[in-house]
Amino acid sequence: MLRSFAVLSILAGLAFAGPAKAAQSFDSCAGFIDSLPATITTPGTWCLRKDLSTAARQGGAITVNADRVILDCNDFKLEGTAGLVTNASGILSSNNARRGIIVRNCQVQGFRYGIALLGSHHIVEDSRIEDAYYVGIATNGSTNTVRGNTVRRIGGNPYVIGPSSRRAIGISMFGPHAFASNNTVAEVDAGLNGGMGGDYSTGIMMSGVVENNRVLDIAFIAAGLHIMGAGSVVRGNHVSGGSAESGSGIFCDSERNLLRNNDVDGYEYTFFRCTQPAP
């Protein structure tokens, strides 16, 4: 879908400053990350105390290889500088056995994946992800939570599907019992830096509980929310600024999902293969 310029007024009114600044306190920090790439191998709270950058093209700028880790960036920035050629993630857990990772107060910019966590019972909260070339926040596993984040300007990786089709996703959550709430996702465009006819952009793709999210300005071809499978609860979301040419505000793989009080406008199809009862 072509981006809707009418959404700019909405963006201006929604205070795109991202999550409120947390008071910086290092009292609970078990250790600090002062250079990249870095790997966390022991539980506890690990902190940033300055902005960090890396030109690495593979792996994670910060890789978490332990359970029960809290990574608190204290609102400092984690930046990738390799550009479109990167396959690196900003914050990465690549082991399906990992449990209980919490990522908070992070600003992540310029990676293929902003944050990518495999495993279960993870939380990503109060963070800002910008200029990721494929996915802003990705989880894969059971009982993961993504809440209170701002994700914007996602897309443009030329290697995602192939030379004739690209994808871009703001938030992607695979696995049972996923929960996404109070996130703002905007300006997702798979065709950034030279689009293709088969480009497909998605604000949030998941099954589970999807509530009180704002999804704005998702480009051709678009789904504001893509609800996978059956049995999801989708309520109180605002989805706006798609294209009248092609795309769905809320796209469901199955009719067997519960939708309540979602506000959708600016798409060819308000709901596709899913229905919301009248208020």
Tokens representing 55?
């030109």
Q: How confident is the model at residue 198 (pLDDT cuts 50, 70, 90)?
A: low
Q: Is residue 23 part of a domain?
A: no
Q: Is residue 180 part of a domain?
A: yes
Q: Is residue 20 part of a domain?
A: no
Q: Is residue 130 part of a domain?
A: yes
Find the Cα–Cα–Cα–Cα dihedral 81, 82, 83, 86, rounded to 10°: -130
- Domain span at residue 153? 7-14+33-272
143, pLDDT greater than 80: yes
Cα–Cα distance measured from residue 163 to residue 37, given in angstroms and rounded to the nearest whole number: 30
pLDDT digits (tens, 9 = 90+) for 234-270: 999 999 986 656 789 999 999 999 999 999 998 989 9
Cα–Cα distance measured from residue 14 to residue 3, given in angstroms and rounded to the nearest whole number: 18
Cα–Cα distance measured from residue 256 to residue 3, given in angstroms and rounded to the nearest whole number: 30
Q: Determine phi and psi for 250, rounding to 5 degrees.
A: -125, 115
pLDDT digits (tens, 9 = 90+) for 4-23: 323 333 333 434 444 444 44
Q: How confident is the model at residue 161 (pLDDT cuts 50, 70, 90)?
A: low
Cα–Cα distance measured from residue 91 to residue 93, given in angstroms and rounded to the nearest whole number: 7
Q: Is residue 28 part of a domain?
A: no
Instruction: State residue 2's pLDDT score.
Output: 31
Instruction: Say if residues 154 and 188 touch (Cβ distance below 8 Å).
Output: yes
In the chain, % of residues over pLDDT 90: 73
Q: Is residue 129 part of a domain?
A: yes
Integer-rounded Cα radius of gyration of the chain: 18
Q: Is residue 277 part of a domain?
A: no
- Domain total in the chain: 1
What order do you get walking across the sheet with 145-147 strand by strand?
31-33, 44-48, 69-72, 102-104, 123-125, 145-147, 179-181, 209-211, 233-235, 258-260
In single-letter form, the type of residue at position 38 comes to A
pLDDT digits (tens, 9 = 90+) for 56-73: 999 999 999 999 999 999
Instruction: State residue 194's pLDDT score.
Output: 57
pLDDT digits (tens, 9 = 90+) for 71-108: 999 999 999 999 988 999 999 999 999 999 999 999 99
Q: pTM for the full model?
A: 0.89
Q: Is residue 279 part of a domain?
A: no
What average pLDDT does range 96-121 have in this prediction?
Answer: 98
